[in-house]
Amino acid sequence: MTTPTITVAGAGIVGLWQALTLARRGFSVRLIERSVEPFAQSASALAGAMLAPYCEAEAADPLVRELGLKSLALWPQSYPGVTVKGTLVVAGTRDRAELVRFARMTDGFEKLDAEELNALEPDLEGRFAAGLHYPAEAHMAPAEAMRFLLDAIRAAGVQVAFSSTWAGRSSAEETVIDCRGLAARGELTGLRGVRGERAIVRVRDVDLIRPVRLLHPRHPLYVVPWGGRRYMIGATVIESDDDGPATVRSALELLGSAYALHPAFGEAQILDLGAGVRPAFADNVPKIVVRGRTIHVNGLYRHGFLLAPVLAELVADYLATGAVDDRVFKMEAAT
């Protein structure tokens, strides 16, 4: 008897990990995506692609940290492009209290004095008196990672169809993993959009090794090195589902903060300025909503790259054994 095909709807970072994990577990899988070009309509393409479970614990539910640590181990097993150089957190002299607060809310760091900070990130020499280093955290360039996963999915035997809009189950027997992000809002009560604007720049005279977070009471910022002197500067967090172009106000905040981190960002070339909308539930914790043979994986908020691998494992375990983690799964009546 052949195993019935599982449909994964949506090829953002969540759908990619679902398709790959299920195919490697022996399921027959097809992945369908509405956009013509891979990733063109996904929030995932806008991400900084940091894997930062410790830093995110500053504001996230403890479950995000717990699941994120599992994903941190899963990513390098499938993608060799993960850079594990940690995260550096700094604050300007006037915002030193922010650093104390951040340290109180998080763990997994070592405290750095000015000398240690200079040794770790030489291009920031003399700019900050203290910092926090989270050595286990990682990052990647999202476009490269997603392309790699797509190739791996095809190599694992998944049928992939772009320009293919999912419009509902085709038969009562079909199992669907719905990974449509914000487009599934009509079916998931409470799913909302949280706008994030970000800039991509190229800078000649700064060579940062790891993501750097500059704390500020109103405009916290991070800078992620994507290689080739490209940096992602992000990101705003705005309660809106508007995915229109970045505003002047946000651009000023982002670029001004990068300039405060290092004046060489003043000479940076702006390669792209854009906005994506993160799908999120009220508690900003992802959910796996099971309605009979339709399984929604959604609400990954700021943590799509961080949590996609571990959620894929949870769905594969559920399909194989019926195992359910009550903190993530919501079992509902089939529709």
Pick the closest to residue 264 from 124, 129, 139 (CA basis): 124
The CA distance from 84 to 61, in Å, is 23
> Taking the chain, what is the end-to-end CA distance rounded to the nearest angstrom?
27
Rule CB under 6 A: is residue 235 a binding residue for ligand FAD?
yes
Complex with ligand FAD: residue 141 or 206, whichever CB lies closer: 141
Rule CB under 6 A: is residue 193 a binding residue for ligand FAD?
no
The CA distance from 201 to 266, in Å, is 10
Rule CB under 6 A: is residue 278 a binding residue for ligand FAD?
yes
Rule CB under 6 A: is residue 46 a binding residue for ligand FAD?
yes
Q: Given candidates 21, 42, 106, 175, which one binds ligand FAD under the rule CB under 6 A?
A: 42
Rule CB under 6 A: is residue 225 a binding residue for ligand FAD?
no
Minimum Å gap between C-beta 214 and ligand FAD is 15
Q: Given candidates 67, 112, 223, 306, which one binds ligand FAD under the rule CB under 6 A?
A: 306
Please say whether the beta carbons of 293 and 173 come within 8 A.
Answer: yes
Residue-by-residue DSSP string for 153-216: HHHTT-EEESS----S-SSTT-EEEE--GGGGGGGSTT-EEEEEEEEEEE-SS---SS-EEEE-
Total chain residues near ligand FAD (CB under 6 A): 41
Minimum Å gap between C-beta 279 and ligand FAD is 5
Give backbone dihedrals phi and psi of 7, rounded to 5 degrees, phi first.
Answer: -95, 125
Q: Given candidates 33, 58, 98, 121, which one binds ligand FAD under the rule CB under 6 A?
A: 33
Please say whether the beta carbons of 169 and 294 come within 8 A.
Answer: yes
Site for ligand FAD in 123-152 (CB under 6 A): none
Q: Given candidates 8, 11, 31, 206, which one binds ligand FAD under the rule CB under 6 A?
A: 11
Q: Given candidates 108, 181, 193, 309, which one binds ligand FAD under the rule CB under 6 A?
A: 181
Please say whether the beta carbons of 88 and 212 come within 8 A.
Answer: yes
Residue span binding ligand FAD (CB under 6 A) among the ranges 125-133, 178-186, 213-221, 254-262: 178-186
Please give the DSSP secondary-structure letter assigned to residue 83: B
Residue span binding ligand FAD (CB under 6 A) among the ranges 8-16, 20-28, 106-114, 128-136: 8-16
Residue span binding ligand FAD (CB under 6 A) among the ranges 116-124, 145-153, 247-255, 274-282: 274-282
The token duo for 214 is: 């500059």
User: 5 vs 100, 112, 173, 176, 334, CA distance in Å?
Assistant: 52, 52, 9, 9, 19
Which residues make Cβ contacts (< 8 Å) with residue 320, sequence separation at least 6?
A: 25
Rule CB under 6 A: is residue 57 a binding residue for ligand FAD?
no
Rule CB under 6 A: is residue 9 a binding residue for ligand FAD?
yes
Q: Given candidates 65, 133, 198, 213, which one binds ligand FAD under the rule CB under 6 A?
A: 198
The CA distance from 237 to 195, in Å, is 6
Contact footprint for ligand FAD (CB under 6 A): 9-15, 32-35, 41-44, 46-50, 165-166, 179-181, 183, 196, 198, 234-235, 276, 278-279, 298, 300-306
